Amino acid sequence: MKKQSIGVGLMGLGVVGGQVARVLADKAEVLAEQVGCPLVLRKVKVLAEDLARPQAKEMDSQLFTTDADEFFAEPGIDIVVE
């Protein structure tokens, strides 16, 4: 059965994490075509100081958690990117 989407969990929103989030948003159509279904950012595990970063201000704050247990309990995550 083909997946309708692939849920992505992102650990961190620093230089690398911020760029991963940007690519997932900016290249969503290309990635979906290459993978065969959309890659959907489901949850971002951040440090409190990450919330002040410019990347965080561009994203839906509902995606963020500072709690690792909450991050790993997210049922919609299929893959984790560090």
CATH number, domain with residue 42: 3.40.50.720
Q: Domain limits at 42?
A: 6-81
Write the pLDDT tens digit of every residue in 22-41: 999 999 999 999 999 999 99
Q: How confident is the model at residue 1 (pLDDT cuts 50, 70, 90)?
A: low
Angle at 27 between CA 25 and CA 28, to 5 degrees: 65
Residue 35 belongs to a domain: yes
Q: pLDDT value at position 80?
A: 97
Question: What is the three-class DSSP state of 6?
Answer: strand
Domains in the chain, number:
1
* CB-CB neighbours of 80 under 10 Å: 15
Residue 1 within a domain: no
**Is 25 part of any domain?**
yes
10 φ, ψ to 5°? -115, 125
**pTM here?**
0.89
Judge whether residue 4 has pLDDT over 90: yes
> Considering the domain boundaries, does residue 52 fall inside one?
yes
Confidence of residue 55 (pLDDT cuts 50, 70, 90): confident
